[in-house]
Structure 1
Amino acid sequence: MKSLSLVFYSLLVCFISGVAAEKGAKFEKYGVKKYFYACNYELMLAATFCKKGRDYACMCTNENYLATFAGCLAYKNRNSTSVTNRMVEQCMEYGNVTIEEDWSSEYYKYYLDHAKYATEIEGFNKSIPVDVPIKLKEAEMDLFQRSYNQFLGNYDDSLYYGASALGYWLLIMLIGATSNWIKVMFPGLVKKCTSGPVNWWRKHVSMPATFGKKRAQEQGLFKFFDFLIPSRFESVVIFMFYVVIIILCAINTEYIEGDPVFDSKYESTMRYAADRTGIVATIMMPLIFLFAGRNNFLQWLTGWNYNTFMTYHRHTARVMFMLVVIHAVCFSILLSSRYASDMKETYLIWGTIATVAGGIIWVQAMLFFRRRWYEIFLFIHIVMAVLWVAGAWVHVDELGYIEFVYPTVAVWCVDRLVRIGRLIVFGFPKAEVTLLANETLRVVVPKPSYWKSVPGGHAFIHFIKPTYFWQSHPFTFVDSPDNSHIILYCKVKGGLTHSLYRKLVNNPGQTATIRVGVEGPYGESTPAKYADTAVFIAGGNGIPGIYSEIMDIARRVTCETKKKLKLIWVIREYKSLEWFAEELEILKNTTIETTIYVTKPECNGGIANYLDMKEEEEGFKQEDGSKNSKLEGEVSTTSITSKYSHITFTEGRPCVKHIVDKEVQESNGSVAFVTCGHPVMVDEVRYYACENINNSEKKRVDFFEQVQVWS
């Protein structure tokens, strides 16, 4: 997928380079220049100064026009330098006429000596050029000023409100960063934070699922509308963001009675809403692309994982798209009388393309499609995102807001360049890929000397084969015992992993050598390393990240330490031990207390069948079927405890409530639970960890999940 996406990014860069040559409107913050535009519009309606009407080449040399303008600006001292300089710019831009910067004071004297009200001019006709400056009524100048304060002020306000939307996320991320770095810099203090208000916040806001237990579990609605519910804290953040956006788009849009700019309150409201939503949406764009990037420095800053940022990305993107739809609908209504002719304009065509692309993204990004056809989803997502950016670029360039699209392209391009750089620096070594127990792919990749693994982290891997080299998939990994390789374990599902399965299943030893590209590492380890008791709970193929993190902690503690490390692995059947056997053996030389739950021990004939299978694979049986003496001393028993004497095996499903309650009770201080595996198990660990926050001994209880939602 990366190679195809690079094609589209290249096309985007070429497209942008082409349109950049034709610079659109200049960005303008109105501020006090609203005074200039109020007078400009009032003069346009009040009188005619040149035979050709709005002929700036004539008007900028017409003393009556300039004097009338000077008189309007002098009312209530609106003639500041920045305002009068706007006339200098306008005359040069539209009339190619140069006037002096102090034109206002010179022509104001002429205005005082010669100006007349329209009623004082004999036979006055607004369509016939006048030969004297025009005096404007104070009440009318006030009305035009209020109207332009509201009309053009809405553009300035929209900039501030768009910045406020970004400021909201800055505040949220500061809260996240503060919480993260306090845990890192003051772990001892954090352990003592078990007071009533702190525990209430953690139990009811920061840690639990939004409703009941379900957070990692997929929810269903009318078959096609699958969805995931964020955590309660994430839900509060998202809900408040919706509230903030509604407020920002609703305030300061009052109608000016008798407004000379708009014919009705309805028309003014539509215009204010169209301008406000379009500008706020444009300003939000860079943040949305930053949230979605793999190389997002905010992950390191806040301590939030990629899953959290993707949750925020989806909701901010939905908000942005809804704002664009409102913007488009409002302007379509306003332009209804000349819609067909206006839609021939380039900026409107590309604005429509961007809106349609956003709509396609919104529909195809539904969980139902992501889970079932991820590669197709990703391809369409990238193509439509390119069209969105390209369309937005052309559209806002015509309107003077291109400066707000630059950061979006910069964020996107930097992320891709870093990703390409990671692949190139890592190189494209040959990896040994083995199918284990017909359910898991073990990928052993030589590790460059500079490459430092992130405990609990993940990496994206490309298998360089003609049929799927363009796909990149994320997997957690562990380091080999000698630290010379990284080992990734990939559950056989559909798509790429099933293609590899078909290739390996008939190979000798179910092994093949495949050239790969590795991009990473990504992610951060959890603060569980600071707890007095760290309990790592994995389910099925969720073990690699859990294992790498607990092993990293184990290497850093001494045998005399009071810190307790516990590893719990829940597997379906005994054959699952096969693909993680080497790592399980290494646990023997650590202080980690390991328990493995086998939920379906009867599968494949149970332990006896598993041992017989291993005997045949390892050549432990004689030709007549009798046991080898070497085997008798190791695996001829009715259990495997002799091989894994350092591990406790339990058959049946674990009671998560019992495990969590027991670990909290037995801990000699703070306790942290880290989990990755089946969504139901992850949700139960979260739920019962929350239930134990207000324990009688006031021990600090933390919960961290390594589950990453890639699709």
Structure 2
Amino acid sequence: MDWPECAGKTGDELRECLCDLPLFVSVTTECLARAVVNDSNPYDAFDRGYLSLCQREPEVEVLVDIVPDDLLQDGVQTAKAAIQNKKLSQIYGLVLMLFWMSICLIRIIAVTLSAFAPGCAQKIRESKISSHFKSMILYPATVNGKHALPVLRIGKFSIRLPVRWITIVLVVFVFLNFVFLFSSFTIVERSITFKTQSMQFKRVLGYRSACLTMFLLPVLLLFGGRNNFLMPWTRWNHGVFVIFHKWIARMIMVNIATHAICYSLLRTEQGLYPGVFRKFYWKWGAAGIGSLSLLIFFSLPYFRRYKYELFLVSHILLAVSFVVSAWYHVRTLDYGKYHVIAAIVVWGADRLLRFLRMALLSPRHATIRHSKHVSCLVIDNSGHWEAEAGNYIYVHFSKLRFWESHPFSVVPTPEGNIKLCIQRKEGLTGMLDSLTDDKMKVWIDGPYGYHTSYKNHDRMVLIAGGIGITQSLGIIYGLLEEKVPRKISLYWSIPYLDYLEFFVDDIERLQTDIEIKIFVTRDSPDETQAKKSFPIEYEHMDIKSIITDNCEKDPSVAFMVCGPPRMNDTVRKESCDALKNGASLTYTEELFCD
């Protein structure tokens, strides 16, 4: 039905204009009232409907009696369809949000069972069904045995796939998002609001895509934060949540693009498209789409690995721009405001906690030493906090790009300080050898990180590559403090002997309590080896034999690997093969081992 008196107007101006038209008010409010409450008194229904629609007391003559029955019936069907589409869109958005909470809840239940019912958890872990599930779903790479290694590389661009269980979760999420986005629309034959069914479809799809986005927005920012409260409960590391964060962002981009396209086509069909760009909410919507598009582009692996500074700065600025744009886009509309507020609270709480951590724990005095390939930073801890197994911290150097920080695994020292050993690469870490001060100031954000509990295993095997030894040593010290009788073995492969320089004291201190084997793959023996009290083998470690031999020695073995991508993928593959052959084992892969 056309309302020529209000042609060319949108938003609040359109509502004010329509609310001054007696026929529109009579039809619309009566239809809304009957659709919602089936009220038999049209005058009472009119009063309530008008007040809800126009947000003011009636100022026009009630003309319900002169509305034709067929027009009234069309209005009732239009109102019912609008209410049903709105309710279903909100239900679908809620289901998507609850999907992610359910995934986390399943993990929390498993962790809780392992902690409070270890006997039951051990029986489940040693069952054939559990071994089959681990070897086929939980541990393996998605395809070709490649997880840490890229499955496809074109120049500096590469594609890496998550492990299989994460891929399955992501496939289900993407499937649900598309099903909810493009199904179950209620379209009426004759609408009093839109001339054609095509216009109805665009309006409903535009609203549906916005609803899905609004419900996913708080989850997106929660999963991307360092202070995600779900991490200690699930015992998943930050890397798992970052993968979820990326794919939620991609689906939000799909939803927002659908939203923008639908409303652009609708306004074009209504002849209003050029004029809507003058509207406040429309401008902010366009700004939000642009911000998110650029944010996702600069989050590609290429920028993270080769242009980290550009990635870091653009990610923060564009994230702020997107959230601010979302707020100004929805604040005058009838949906989304509280979802955006929740997202802002989540993001603001994460940033506030980061600031408080740094303010309470910084600045710290630190000393730095260098070998040919490794830099060792010892930070004065002064009893502020006790390093635990699996901890890592983000470090800001006062003399090197203070705005940039990287995560480094923590190794406790006998003096109560914390030691960070860093392999120098490109970017910030490559500049560390320029620091020669005996005393320098650093700012730290942390500690973060949790490790899997290994209390119910007879043997713990840690396989480290290169500087991944820092994560392994932190876990070993934590295991020894538990005073639980178990056998612990450490296999460490390094390319050059200078990697040993900052760990000799740790190796000598631990070799009486655990089995240690060190492999050097590129250097040859030199005169310094004779001074060491532990043996060194100059060959590549045989990962398959390590997995097989340890599985034969004890009925329940836990393997942890932290090393270069090829090593991680090899240990993962051999662990899955051992499970298929009847072994009972647990596999974990620790990240943030720079």
Shorter-chain TM-score above 0.5: yes
Residue type of the partner of 2:182?
A
Residue type of the partner of 1:706?
E
SS at match of 1:568: strand
Q: Which residues of 2 match residues 313-392 of structure 1 at below 5 A?
A: 313-336=245-268, 337-392=271-326
Return the match for 2:392 from 442, 447, 458. Answer: 458
CA distance in structure 2 between the aligned counterparts of 1:83 and 1:557, rounded to whole angstroms? 79
CA distance in structure 2 between the aligned counterparts of 1:534 and 1:706, rounded to whole angstroms? 14
2:221 aligns with 289
SS at match of 1:512: coil
Q: Is the 8 A contact 1:531 1:671 kept in 2?
A: yes
Q: Which residues of 2 match residues 565-580 of structure 1 at below 5 A?
A: 565-580=488-503
Return the match for 2:532 from 619, 639, 643. Answer: 643
Return the match for 1:481 from 394, 409, 414. Answer: 414
Identity over aligned residues, as a percent? 26
CA 1:662 to 1:488, structure 2 compared with 1: closer, same or farther past 3 Å? same
Q: Is the 8 A contact 1:191 1:670 kept in 2?
A: no
1:520 aligns with 446
1:653 aligns with 540
Q: Is the 8 A contact 1:597 1:652 kept in 2?
A: yes
Q: Which residues of 2 match residues 539-554 of structure 1 at below 5 A?
A: 539-554=465-480
1:693 aligns with 579
1:596 aligns with 518
Deviations 1:420-473 (A, max 9, x none): 1111111312111111x22111111111424132212200111122x5122222
Return the match for 2:132 from 197, 200, 206. Answer: 200
CA distance in structure 1 between the aligned counterparts of 2:192 and 2:428, rounded to whole angstroms? 64
1:430 aligns with 365
1:211 aligns with 143
Structure 1: state its 5+ residue gaps.
1-37, 45-52, 100-128, 505-510, 612-638
The alignment status of 1:170 with 2:89, answered yes or no, reads no
1:607 aligns with 526
CA distance in structure 2 between the aligned counterparts of 1:302 and 1:439, rounded to whole angstroms? 36
SS at match of 2:159: coil
Q: Which residues of 2 match residues 60-79 of structure 1 at below 5 A?
A: 73=33, 78-79=38-39
CA distance in structure 2 between the aligned counterparts of 1:247 and 1:68, rounded to whole angstroms? 32
Q: Which residues of 2 match residues 32-51 of structure 1 at below 5 A?
A: none
Return the match for 1:501 from 402, 423, 433. Answer: 433
Q: Is the 8 A contact 2:460 2:488 kept in 1?
A: yes
Q: Is the 8 A contact 2:392 2:407 kept in 1?
A: yes
Q: Indicate the structure (1 or 2) with the bigger Cα radius of gyration.
A: 1
Q: Which residues of 2 match residues 619-630 of structure 1 at below 5 A?
A: none
Q: Is the 8 A contact 2:221 2:346 kept in 1?
A: yes
CA distance in structure 1 between the aligned counterparts of 2:426 and 2:320, rounded to whole angstroms? 28
CA distance in structure 2 between the aligned counterparts of 1:462 and 1:405, rounded to whole angstroms? 31
SS at match of 1:226: strand
CA distance in structure 1 between the aligned counterparts of 2:438 and 2:286, rounded to whole angstroms? 49
Residue type of the partner of 2:149?
Q
SS at match of 1:459: strand
SS at match of 1:528: coil
SS at match of 2:273: helix
SS at match of 1:692: helix
1:582 aligns with 505
CA distance in structure 1 between the aligned counterparts of 2:41 and 2:343, rounded to whole angstroms? 35
SS at match of 1:441: strand
CA 1:501 to 1:600, structure 2 compared with 1: closer, same or farther past 3 Å? same
CA distance in structure 2 between the aligned counterparts of 1:377 and 1:440, rounded to whole angstroms? 25
Return the match for 1:141 from 33, 48, 72. Answer: 72
CA distance in structure 1 between the aligned counterparts of 2:37 and 2:184, rounded to whole angstroms? 25
Return the match for 2:378 from 444, 458, 464. Answer: 444
CA distance in structure 1 between the aligned counterparts of 2:438 and 2:42, rounded to whole angstroms? 72
CA-atom RMSD in angstroms = 3.0
CA distance in structure 2 between the aligned counterparts of 1:80 and 1:675, rounded to whole angstroms? 71
Query: How far does residue 140 in structure 1 lie from its aligned partner after superposition?
Result: 4.3
Residue type of the partner of 2:404?
Q
1:614 aligns with none
The alignment status of 1:397 with 2:397, answered yes or no, reads no
Q: Is the 8 A contact 1:73 1:79 kept in 2?
A: yes
Residue type of the partner of 2:574?
Y
Deviations 1:191-243 (A, max 9, x none): 32233332222111111111132111134344354222101000000000001
Residue type of the partner of 1:432?
T
SS at match of 2:489: strand
CA distance in structure 1 between the aligned counterparts of 2:313 and 2:28, rounded to whole angstroms? 60
CA distance in structure 2 between the aligned counterparts of 1:280 and 1:55, rounded to whole angstroms? 30
Deviations 1:292-342 (A, max 9, x none): 100111111111110000000000011011110111111111122332211
Residue type of the partner of 1:423?
M
1:5 aligns with none
CA distance in structure 1 between the aligned counterparts of 2:385 and 2:344, rounded to whole angstroms? 29
CA 1:413 to 1:459, structure 2 compared with 1: closer, same or farther past 3 Å? same
Query: How far does residue 654 in structure 1 lie from its aligned partner after superposition?
Result: 1.0
CA distance in structure 2 between the aligned counterparts of 1:260 and 1:91, rounded to whole angstroms? 20
Q: Is the 8 A contact 2:327 2:337 kept in 1?
A: yes
CA 1:527 to 1:136, structure 2 compared with 1: closer, same or farther past 3 Å? same
Deviations 1:360-393 (A, max 9, x none): 1111111011100112111011111111011111
Query: How far does residue 82 in structure 1 lie from its aligned partner after superposition?
Result: 14
Q: Is the 8 A contact 2:407 2:592 kept in 1?
A: no
The alignment status of 1:409 with 2:344, answered yes or no, reads yes
Query: How far does residue 162 in structure 1 lie from its aligned partner after superposition?
Result: 0.8
CA 1:440 to 1:76, structure 2 compared with 1: closer, same or farther past 3 Å? closer
CA 1:521 to 1:284, structure 2 compared with 1: closer, same or farther past 3 Å? same
Q: Is the 8 A contact 2:410 2:470 kept in 1?
A: yes
Q: Taking structure 2 as the reference length, what is the TM-score of the superposition?
A: 0.90
Aligned length: 579
SS at match of 2:430: helix
Q: Is the 8 A contact 2:26 2:46 kept in 1?
A: no
Query: How far does residue 75 in structure 1 lie from its aligned partner after superposition?
Result: 9.0
CA distance in structure 2 between the aligned counterparts of 1:213 and 1:282, rounded to whole angstroms? 37
Deviations 1:227-281 (A, max 9, x none): 2210100000000000111111122214322333333332222221111001211
SS at match of 1:530: coil
Q: Is the 8 A contact 1:675 1:707 kept in 2?
A: no
Q: Taking structure 1 as the reference length, what is the TM-score of the superposition?
A: 0.76
Q: Is the 8 A contact 1:444 1:486 kept in 2?
A: yes
Query: How far does residue 537 in structure 1 lie from its aligned partner after superposition?
Result: 0.7
CA distance in structure 2 between the aligned counterparts of 1:333 and 1:674, rounded to whole angstroms? 54
CA distance in structure 1 between the aligned counterparts of 2:288 and 2:48, rounded to whole angstroms? 37
Residue type of the partner of 1:497?
T
Residue type of the partner of 2:446?
G
CA 1:70 to 1:409, structure 2 compared with 1: closer, same or farther past 3 Å? closer
CA 1:191 to 1:657, structure 2 compared with 1: closer, same or farther past 3 Å? same
Q: Is the 8 A contact 2:220 2:245 kept in 1?
A: yes
Return the match for 2:190 from 258, 272, 285. Answer: 258
Q: Is the 8 A contact 1:72 1:136 kept in 2?
A: no
SS at match of 2:438: strand
Q: Is the 8 A contact 1:68 1:135 kept in 2?
A: no
SS at match of 2:356: helix
Structure 2: state its 5+ residue gaps.
7-15
1:116 aligns with none
Q: Is the 8 A contact 2:205 2:259 kept in 1?
A: yes
Residue type of the partner of 1:232?
R
